[in-house]
Chains A and B, each alone.
Chain A
Amino acid sequence: MRIVFALGLLVVSLLSGSFGYAAEWGDLKLTFVYDGTAPVATSISVNKDPQYCGPFGLVDEQLVVNKENGGIANVIAYIYTRTGPKPAVHPDYAATANAKVVLDNKKCRFEPHVALLRTSQTLVLKNTDAVGHNTNYSTFSNPPQNILIPSSGQVEKKLTLAERLPAKVACNIHPWMTAWLVVQDTPYAAVSNKNGELVIKNLPVGKWTFQFWQESGGYVASVKQDGKATEWKRGRVEITIEPGMNDLGEIKYKP
């Protein structure tokens, strides 16, 4: 049954040409900037393992805005292919197709705050802290997990289905700890850095739909591009990728 289905897919994808290499590739870049005065990070009251976790100066990471340049970290973007063909995959991505993606419990927070995972990759949950943590992720398409991970403990998980939305990760022992798990069946996903810069590399040229999401606002729907208010319905926007760098410049956003 599975095999028949897989074969069917193969035929379909051969027909639609997505297995062939696109002749040309382009990078997409956007810079998310907070629309307004940057809010200050609120510090967390550490009421669990205060001796160990207290000194790390933990702050709420729901909305991380750079004091210097207003850049918004942790905006998530991925190519949206619920309808329409799958994009061809640039050969550079083959090297990481089966890589391990680590989600660490480190200094009483999750590192990274947003983990990008492809369905072909393996998720590694680990704990490098001296205290115990549990990692509780609420995926929708893949079976959710809630595992007690001792200090120096480690476990690997396969998530074989794409998730429509970033899935929340929590630690019940330390209630302030949150992370997000992005599971996609293409490598075309990215998360913005501390300057708000988000880059998806080596996209096949052509018209693609991208979806944008941010923890405190859900779909990134109302933005300002070139000073003009723009509506990205359901956080989705169609972008034409041309060979080389496609820099959309500053996107002003306030969740």
Chain B
Amino acid sequence: MSRYLSNSVSSRSFVGCVVLVLLVSSFVGCTTKAKFSENAVYILKQERDLNVEISPQQRRDIAEVLAGMFGTPDKPNVPKLGGIDIANVLDATQLHVASGPVSSDERGRARGLYREHCAHCHGVTGDGAGPTAAFLNPYPRDYRMGVFKFKSTPKAGKPTHEDLRDILANGIPGTAMPSFKVLPNNEIEALISYVRYLSIRGEVERELAYLTADLVEGERLLDVTGSREDRSEQAASIRETAARVVQKWVDAESQATPIEAPDPERDLVASIKHGRELFYGPIANCVKCHGDSALGDGQKTDYDDWTKELEPINEEALEQFLGLGNFVLPPRNIHPRNLRQGVYRGGRRPIDLYRRIHNGIDGTPMPATLVIGDDAAAGTKGLTKDDIWSLVDYVRNLPYESISLPPVIEQGYQRERL
């Protein structure tokens, strides 16, 4: 508990708050000053990658720029970025409702939805390191990288509004992420807005750290003491950076991968058989990670992209990262899905599985496929859309397939047994 508080609430104001609660015996109206924490991991990563040092002054500059643009956990701000319709992505009223301590405002509206429902896992800053996080596997999402797994857009695309709705409505089966179906629609909307807010803020923070790492000594991200001209140039470049991040969320709404339904009359038995050959064969290569029996044991030493930032296979680096504080969660390997269990984190509908196989799963080793007639270069190898539907049919059938079926042997060379 203490760790959660130190992460989110400055301890002095917390003590003050407890005193206040004791005095008036009501939590309502008790304003704790919650704080966003710095992305110390990413700053250290910049320093290590580039063999440079980011000074305390430079770190304060980043924090100040962020506070100016995005406000605080109690008083979020929607930055004005000019030329971009940010209101479509971030709604100030919704942010107000989702933010702040759990309470109700002057008009009796519930406030603090995020801290009530999400922060104990995802953290006040959205760093995925709330007080319960360390006990979960997989860890809760750190939104700040701007990467999401289960969505309808291709690699590097943000989730659409509908994707986030689906996640909140259904949760992520097989993980700790619960369903919030019981919440009223307006509260779900407020939470979607707030997830975007934390993600955009977090990604802008990363961009600022990235820019900062490139500055030479004495140069500043935003130099309040500099000439007016310099300052407005610096501010413009910061706004441009932020606008690029926001634009990706705007673009996502029209980026969902178009999907043609499979032929409903297709011979399902033949399609499953074809899918099985592809799964174990050299064109689709699923077997390489998901394993000879699709138990998810073909590749168990890899890490997801969040964990890779900690350089988990470099002992010296890892120790340095873990030494930053207990908000850095110890690395765990990511395992390919055990496809015999029939539990699909991104949804169990055929269209969900089609999306996962077609687009891959962002932030994880699971790759997108090359599609003939689409992105595969003419005359080269790839999968057809029908092939992908066959893979979907096969994956959906896998939980019912006998595990003792003889493995398919690839042509050309013998697969190693693990």
Q: Is B409 an interface residue (CB 8 A)?
A: no
Evaluate contact between B52 and A234: CB separation under 8 angstroms.
Answer: yes
Min CB distance B263 to A, Å, is 24
Are A155's CB and B367's CB within 8 A? no
**Contact pick for B367, options A82, A138, A148, A233, CB 8 Å:** A148
When distances are taken between beta carbons in the complex, the residues of chain A under 8 Å from B302 are 172, 175
Closest-by-CB residue of B relative to A236 is: B216
Q: What are 20 A-B pairs with beta-carbon distances under 8 A? A: A49-B415, A52-B413, A126-B380, A130-B412, A130-B413, A132-B282, A134-B365, A136-B367, A146-B155, A146-B366, A146-B367, A148-B360, A149-B370, A152-B380, A153-B382, A165-B50, A172-B299, A218-B48, A218-B50, A233-B216
| A147 CB–B CB distance under 8 Å | yes
Establish whether residues A156 and B377, one from each chain, have CB atoms under 8 Å apart when the complex forms.
yes
Instruction: Report Cα–Cα, A48/B417, bound state, in Å.
Output: 10
Within 8 A of A (CB), among B35-92: 48-52, 83
The verdict on A221 contacting chain B, using a C-beta distance below 8 Å, is yes
Q: Could you tell me the distance between the alpha carbons of A50 and B48 in the complex, rounded to whole angstroms?
A: 33
Chain A 141-155 near chain B by CB (<8 Å), digits 1 or 0? 001111111111111
Assign chain A's interface to a size class: 35 or more
Size class of the B contact interface (CB-based, 8 Å): 35 or more
Is there an interface contact between A175 and B217, defined as CB atoms closer than 8 Å?
Answer: no
Please, how many angstroms separate the alpha-carbon atoms of A124 and B375 in the complex?
A: 11
Interchain CA distance A140-B213 in the complex, whole Å: 14
A-side interface residues toward B, CB under 8 Å? 1, 48-52, 82, 124, 126, 130-132, 134, 136, 138, 140, 143-156, 164-165, 172-173, 175, 217-219, 221, 233-236
- Among the 9-residue stretches B118-126, B171-179, B284-292, B397-405, the one with 4 or more Cβ atoms under 8 Å from chain A is B284-292
Contact call A148/B369, Cβ cutoff below 8 A: yes
Residues B282 and A150 in contact, CB atoms below 8 Å apart: yes
Q: Kindly state the separation between the CA atoms of A146 and B155 in the bound complex, as whole angstroms.
A: 7
8 Å CB contact of A130 from B214, B282, B416: B282
The reply to whether B50 and A150 form a contact with Cβ atoms under 8 Å apart is no
Q: Is B288 a contact partner of A132 (Cβ separation < 8 A)? A: yes
- Confirm or deny: B227 has a beta carbon within 8 angstroms of a beta carbon on chain A: no
CB distance from B160 to the nearest CB of A (A): 16
Q: Are A144 and B155 in contact (CB under 8 A)?
A: yes
New contact pairs (15) apart from A134-B365, A140-B210, CB-CB < 8 Å? A49-B413, A52-B413, A130-B282, A134-B367, A143-B155, A146-B155, A147-B369, A153-B381, A155-B380, A175-B302, A218-B51, A219-B52, A233-B216, A234-B216, A236-B216
Q: Which residues of B contact A147 (CB under 8 A)?
A: 360, 367-370, 375
Say whether B301 faces chain A, with CB atoms less than 8 Å apart.
yes
Q: Contact: B367 with A1, CB < 8 Å?
A: no
Shortest Cβ gap from A97 to chain B (Å): 21
Q: Nearest Cβ distance between residue A129 and chain B, in whole angstroms?
A: 10
Q: How far is A233 from B213 in the complex, measured between Cα atoms in Å?
A: 12
Q: A48-B288, A219-B52, A221-B51 are in contact. Are A150 and B283 (CB under 8 A)?
A: yes
Are B380 and A154 interface neighbours, CB within 8 A? yes
Nearest residue (CB) in A for B286 is: A148
B269 at the interface (CB under 8 A from A): no
- Per the bound structure, the CA–CA distance linking A236 and B216 in Å amounts to 10
- B156 CB within 8 Å of chain A: yes
* Chain B residues positioned under 8 Å from A165 (CB to CB): 49-50
Nearest residue (CB) in B for A211 is B214
Any A CB within 8 A of the CB of B259: no
The 4 A-B pairs at the shortest CB distance, nearest first, are namely A132-B285, A143-B156, A172-B365, A218-B51
Report B-chain residues with C-beta under 8 Å of the C-beta of A48: 288, 299, 416
Within 8 Å by CB of A234, from B214, B360, B382, lies B214
Please give me the residue from chain A that is nearest to B412 by CB atom.
Answer: A130
Q: B25 contacts the other chain (Cβ, under 8 Å)?
A: no
Residues of chain A within 8 A of B382, CB atoms compared: 150, 153
Q: Which of A143, A173, A233 contacts B289 (CB 8 A)?
A: A173
Looking at the assembled complex, report how far the CB atom of B87 sits from the nearest CB atom of chain A, in whole angstroms: 19
- Chain B residues with CB below 8 A from A149, complex form: 370
By a CB distance below 8 angstroms, the chain A residues around B50 are: 165, 218-219, 234-235
Residues of B within 8 A of A138 (CB): 305
CB distance from B346 to the nearest CB of A (A): 16
Distance of B310 from chain A, by nearest CB (Å) = 15
B376 CB contact (under 8 Å) in A154, A172, A221, A234: A154
Q: Are B416 and A51 touching (Cβ within 8 A)?
A: yes
Closest-by-CB residue of A relative to B366 is: A146
By beta carbon, the residue of chain A nearest B360 is: A146
Residues of B within 8 A of A82 (CB): 214
The answer on a CB contact under 8 Å between B368 and A146 is: yes
A172 touches B370 (CB 8 A): no
